[in-house]
Amino acid sequence: MADTPDKRVLIVDDEAFIRLLIMQTLEELEELGVEIITADNGLDALETIKQQMPNLVFLDVMIPRMSGFDVCRKVKRDLAMSEVYIVILTAKGQEYDRQVSQEAGADVYMTKPFDPDELLELARNVLAI
């Protein structure tokens, strides 16, 4: 296994419990060499994406300092980082939020509570594991 992982997943949520839950869901990926990184606000998430170039981002919408929609829009549109796969994770299931998510450039819109098996399968598919 290489010293530097070639696959990274960023988990962005302001609730520590949710970050931990997603990390536990994805822990078998770590055993396969995937690096799991976290952020608890939008500005830190954006900086982490710029610096670490994660392959996959699980991004909550309602986070401090910059919304998940704004982070997604900046990554996909302003920075043109189309290779970063963004999954919007939110407790908001309204059609309006789905549309905003799509307009922001999100690849997938998933509502909480999420199915851990579905989350893991999605990550495996995106990371080609």
Q: Specify the residue for token string 């996959």.
A: 56
Please determine, for residue 2, whether its predicted confidence score (pLDDT) is greater than 60: no
Q: What class is the 8-127 domain?
A: alpha beta
Predicted pLDDT at 33: 95
Question: Measured between alpha carbons, how far is residue 86 from residues 2, 31, 57, 104 in Å?
Answer: 25, 22, 5, 10
Average pLDDT over residues 85-94: 90
The phi, psi pair for 19, rounded to 5°, reads -60, -45
Can you tell me the distance from the alpha carbon of 30 to that of 120, in angstroms, rounded to the nearest whole number? 12
Average pLDDT over residues 116-127: 97
